[in-house]
Structure 1
């Protein structure tokens, strides 16, 4: 049974993998972390495009993937259109910060978006933001260093950066004029949700892209006739352009033994 490729610059895409496994328990997945080149969010487009093409080529050549989830907002913004042109028969799912679900969820119409500088500077994000700008007020916060701190599990740095960026995002709460919805615009950030929650309060809604991406992946596989059957045994293979041990440790830490079951 061919696997679904899932790739990110590092370990952040494991948050998307968790949602994919919950929605598609019979599927096999290959998760690829491009760790030596992470994080993409503070790199230029040319660099991100080169790495995205290289990883996609390796997943196709080495693992024969039947679909690809680009579990990285920055790589999606920079390169998904090129991948679609270069691999027209491969079902492709990309990510974008979940502004549309945030608009639907917000009652105060004030939304904060935490994302990498690369994502916020992209033309793809600018178009999405412009299309929704009349429906809510968005505060955009480039979170330099946060993905890297999560990547290396520097908990003191994660705590410090979360406090800084939530403070920059504005006043949180459910009253008029307060931010009641927070978009986690990088796949790493769900792993810092508990720390972010310390500063936003319990009433603020956090929105990420895991569940919508899993739903779209299911739809594309079904349309292509590539869904695994109910008798198939799902599982995960981990791969990396660098040492595998840090990825294995992160997967065990954030997904647990059940989430890391090899198939």
Structure 2
């Protein structure tokens, strides 16, 4: 088990807030630290070797500085690429990862047609293919990679306009009809995407179950913390660190809505 420090949530941008929000419901007294590597956003476009090296170096600094009790990698791209290496590098700290929710999708589907909506990096990853082989071999699983959706989710969350037509162009490949059957589950394999779920529901050609892993990740964090979960309020506010060191009043307000204070160098 890690130290008595905060639980550290990591993502490339704002997407991990979907996971932090669920964790806050289940762990009301736990000190939380949100770290966004927004200087590298969107990380799905990075060469894998460069991204892995960046993540390992960044976490060496984060863990030495903040001594987290546990780490939640609230990002499919980062965890499927570097999760094993991070666990080996920091065996004293428990890591909770994020992987595409293919197993629960396979258990829930009635039609057998599942789509996984993800970043191109997650779609390419052998980890994703092995999940399909292990848990969804009896299903038809379509992998749909989007270069733009994570950025669109950030725009949407910040209040900037995102056109329905632009969203539909990114998700339309998720909808498959075959021999009288239709896709009935879309796995949201990027933590940014749940911010757009209500928009997706309005523009989808037919209703599907949009599978958001945030609650399951939060429940796993509760299991990992066990008796070490905080049982009394912390004295300090929950904090957020962004690697680009932004000075953006709108971001400060947005983070305050999640109970976070933006720290600056």
Q: How far off its partner does 1:130 sit? A: 1.8
Structure 1 residue 182 corresponds to structure 2 residue 186: yes
The answer to whether the aligner puts 1:194 opposite 2:198 as a matched pair is: yes
Q: CA contact under 8 A between 2:113 and 2:176: conserved in structure 1?
A: no
User: Please, which of 153, 167, 176 is the counterpart of residue 172 of structure 2?
Assistant: 167
Residue 83 (structure 1) shift = 0.7
Equivalence for 2:14: 11
Quote the RMSD (CA, aligned, Å).
2.5
1:139 deviation in Å? 1.5
Matches within 5 A, 1:93-172: 93-153=96-156, 155-157=160-162, 159-171=164-176
Unaligned ranges ≥5, structure 1: none
When structure 1 is superposed on structure 2, of 143-152 and 225-234 the one drifting more is 225-234
Q: For the residues of structure 1 that align with 2:82 and 2:122, how far apart are their CA atoms?
A: 12
Matching residue within 10, 22, 27 for 1:24 = 27
Give CA deviations for 1:172-229 in whole Å, capped at 9, x if unaligned: 8xx951111111110110111122111226742111211111111111111xx42112
The alignment covers a number of residue pairs equal to: 256
Q: Deviations over 1:112-161 (max 9, x none)?
A: 11100000101111111122342321111101111122224485446333
Length-normalised TM-score, structure 2? 0.87
- Report the TM-score, using the length of structure 1 for normalisation: 0.87
Q: Give the gaps of 5 or more residues in structure 2.
A: none
1:48 to 28, 48, 51: 51
Pairing 1:209-248 to 2, within 5 Å after superposition: 209-222=213-226, 225-230=227-232, 232=234, 235-246=237-248
Secondary structure in 1 aligned to 2:240?
strand
Task: Pick from 25, 34, 37 the counterpart of residue 34 of structure 1.
Answer: 37
Q: Mark the CA change 1:124 to 1:196 in structure 2 (over 3 Å): closer, same or farther.
A: same
Give per-residue Cα distances to partners, 1:37-70, cap 9 Å, x unaligned.
1111122211221222233223212222111001
Query: In structure 2, what is the Cα distance between the partners aligned to 1:251 and 1:103?
Result: 39
